[in-house]
């Protein structure tokens, strides 16, 4: 099983060219890669990959098929993850899509890989991000552990 | 004579065992005259000029300013603020900076410390780190100067300027797991 890029809806992900749809966001306010420094001089690490898209325009695609286990505000419109969708593929992989403008799926709904589940936005902590930094914060958990989405998207994962 | 030596040896061992594990303590870093944990936002602007970006950090929402600097290497300097005081700084080199070159720059009086992320404490997209001998994050720390080289694949991801430890010495997640429900 291989996940698809949540912005392009197709396999594979490349960080560069940064800022273009489907690639890593430019990095104002902190770099967008998994493991990037956060907090007081790197006392925290970024747990997802920030993939650029156009706010209120670009669709967010389901990276894997599965059941929607969460769809709604996680935090608030100006704090935390913002509008978020969480999908459990039932095989040990959970994917999370945050800072959306709006979600198009509901909890309990089954989605197929590549299906549009939300629109890119700037909710949560991304609300005052500079122009050009709009993105989907994409997290991947494999058997309960967060992994680097950039690596995961470019590998065929056997979850058995 | 032999009895005296024996007593002396035992006395020496007991002294060694009684001593606590010595950890180098952190001294606040000073960058171009700015003291981490002491200097203010106004001081930072006076010394570093107009920030290239001023706003909040992604995911944590912490107030930050970033500047283009050339010391000790060219790069982007992110200044973290708390209540108008500089709480930390990270310098992301513009050009690739290899571990060896960075050590030449900052000196060999570092201690190597590894960290891992406390995944169960992930909040709004980021997780705190803790000291972990097998962790994937490698720091070369100059605690007496409040500086650290944060390495990734043999290259410097950032030079950090701090006034306190990066994280606790053990995972808080494992403590939470071991607590009886």
* Nearest beta carbon to residue A42 from set B82, B90, B124: B90
Q: Supply the pLDDT for residue A58.
A: 97
Confidence bin at B116 (pLDDT 50/70/90): very high
Confidence bin at B66 (pLDDT 50/70/90): very high
Q: Cβ–Cβ of B61/A79 closer than 8 Å?
A: yes
Global ipTM: 0.87
Q: Report the distance separating Cα B146 and Cα B99, nearest Å.
A: 18
Q: Which residue of A has its CA nearest to B59?
A: A125
Q: Which residues of B touch A28 (CB under 8 A)?
A: 53, 55, 66
Q: Cβ–Cβ of A40/B87 closer than 8 Å?
A: yes
Mutate to test the interface with A, among B35, B52, B58 (most CBs of A within 10 A): B58
Nearest residue to B44 (alpha-carbon basis) of B52, B56, B32: B32
Q: pLDDT tens per residue, chain A (160 residues)?
A: 789 999 999 999 999 999 999 999 998 888 899 999 999 889 999 999 999 999 999 999 999 999 999 999 999 898 899 999 999 999 999 999 999 999 999 999 999 999 999 999 999 988 888 878 999 999 999 999 999 999 999 987 554 4
Q: Which residues of B touch A128 (CB under 8 A)?
A: 55-56
Instruction: Give the three-state DSSP class for A152.
Output: helix
- Mean pLDDT value across residues B42-67: 93
Instruction: Give the three-state DSSP class for A66.
Output: strand
* Nearest beta carbon to residue B89 from set A41, A47, A146: A41
Q: Which residue of B has its CA nearest to A136?
A: B125
In degrees, rounded to 5, the angle at the alpha carbon of residue B127 between the alpha carbons of residues B165 and A132 is: 110
Instruction: Give the three-state DSSP class for B4.
Output: helix
Task: Please give the backbone phi and psi of residue A82, each rounded to the nearest 5 degrees, phi first.
Answer: 75, -155
What per-residue string of b and e applies to B104-122 under the rule 16 or more CB within 10 Å gives b?
A: eebeeebeebebbbbbebb
Q: Which residues of B touch A145 (CB under 8 A)?
A: 119
Nearest residue to A8 (alpha-carbon basis) of A120, A86, A107: A120
Terminal alpha carbon distance of chain B: 60
* Nearest beta carbon to residue B59 from set A46, A130, A133: A46
Q: Supply the pLDDT for residue B177.
A: 57
Tens of pLDDT, residues B8-35 = 444 444 333 333 344 568 999 999 999 9
Q: Which residues of B touch A146 (CB under 8 A)?
A: 117, 119, 122, 127
């Amino acid at each position: 099983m291989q996940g698809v890029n949540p912005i392009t809806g197709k396999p594979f992900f490349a960080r560069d060219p940064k800022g273009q749809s489907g690639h890593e966001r430019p990095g104002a306010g902190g770099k967008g890669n998994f493991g990037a420094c956060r907090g007081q001089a790197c006392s925290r690490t970024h747990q997802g990959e920030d993939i650029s898209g156009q706010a209120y325009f670009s669709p967010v695609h389901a990276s894997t098929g599965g059941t929607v286990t969460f769809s709604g505000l996680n935090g608030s419109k100006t704090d935390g993850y913002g509008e978020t969708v969480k999908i459990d593929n039932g095989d040990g992989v959970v994917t999370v899509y945050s800072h959306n403008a709006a979600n198009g799926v509901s909890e309990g709904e089954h989605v197929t890989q590549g299906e549009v589940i939300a629109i890119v936005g700037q909710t949560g902590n991304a609300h005052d991000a500079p122009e050009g930094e709009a993105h989907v914060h994409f997290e991947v958990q494999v058997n309960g552990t967060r992994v680097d989405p950039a690596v995961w998207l470019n590998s065929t994962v056997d979850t058995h | 004579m032999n009895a005296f030596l024996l007593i002396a040896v035992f006395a020496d061992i007991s002294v060694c065992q009684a001593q606590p594990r010595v950890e180098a303590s952190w001294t606040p870093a000073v960058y171009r005259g700015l003291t981490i944990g002491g200097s203010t936002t106004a001081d930072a602007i006076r010394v570093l000029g107009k920030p290239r970006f001023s706003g909040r950090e992604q995911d944590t929402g912490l107030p930050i300013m970033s500047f283009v600097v050339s010391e000790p290497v060219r790069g982007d300097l992110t200044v973290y603020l708390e209540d108008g005081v500089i709480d930390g700084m990270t310098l992301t080199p513009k050009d690739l900076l290899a571990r060896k070159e960075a050590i030449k720059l900052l000196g060999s009086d570092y201690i190597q410390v590894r960290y891992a992320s406390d995944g169960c404490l992930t909040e709004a997209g980021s997780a705190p780190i803790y000291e972990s001998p097998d962790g994937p994050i490698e720091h070369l720390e100059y605690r007496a100067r409040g500086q650290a080289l944060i390495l990734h694949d043999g290259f410097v991801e950032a030079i950090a300027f701090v006034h306190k430890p990066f994280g606790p010495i053990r995972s808080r997640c494992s403590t939470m797991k071991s607590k009886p429900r």
